[in-house]
Amino acid sequence: MLDINVVRKNPDLVKENMRKKFQDHKLNLVDEVVALDTQYRQTKTKADDLRAQRNALSKKIGVLMGQGNKAEAENVKAQVASMAQELADLEASEEPLLDQIKQRMMSIPNLIDPTVPLGKDDSENVERYRVGEAALKPFEIPYHVEIMEKLAGIDLDAARKVAGNGFYYLIGDVARLHSAILSFARDFMIDKGFTYVIPPFMIRSEVVTGVMSFTEMENMMYKIEGEDLYLVGTSEHSMIGKFIDSILEEDQLPYTYTSYSPCFRKEVGAHGIEERGAYRVHQFEKQEMIVVCKPEDSQKWFEFLYKTTVEFFRSMDIPVRVLECCSGDLADLKSKSVDVEAWSPRQQKYFEVGSCSNLTDAQARRLQIRVAGKEGKYFAHTLNNTVVAPPRMLIAFLENNLNEDGSINIPVLLRPYMGGKTILTPKK
206-239 pLDDT per residue, tens = 999 999 887 788 888 999 999 999 999 999 999 9
User: What CATH number is given to the structural domain containing 47?
Assistant: 1.10.287.40
Mark whether 252 and 388 lie in a shared domain: yes
Range of the domain at 9: 4-105
For residue range 52-86, what is the model confidence (pLDDT) as tens digits? 777 777 677 676 677 777 777 667 667 767 677 77
Q: Cα torsion for 293, 294, 298, 299, to the nearest 10°?
A: -150
| pLDDT for the residue numbered 270 | 52
Q: Is residue 116 part of a domain?
A: no
* pLDDT at 322 (0 to 100): 98
Structural domain includes residue 347: yes
pTM, 2 dp: 0.89
Q: Does residue 197 lie in a domain region? A: yes
Whole-number pLDDT of residue 401: 95
pLDDT at 236: 94
At residue 280, the pLDDT reads: 85
User: Residue 131 domain-assigned?
Assistant: yes
The total of structural domains in the chain comes to: 2
Q: Please check whether residues 143 and 70 belong to one and the same domain.
A: no
Q: Tell me which of 105, 134, 159 is where a domain ends.
A: 105
On whether both 66 and 173 belong to a single domain, the answer is no
Residue 110 lies in a domain: no
- Is there a domain that residue 117 lies in? no
> Does any domain span residue 113?
no
Taking 50 as the pLDDT cut, the residues of the chain under it are none
Q: What is the pLDDT, as a whole number, of residue 100?
A: 95
Amino acid 93: pLDDT: 86
The CA angle 340-398-400, to the nearest 5 degrees, is 65
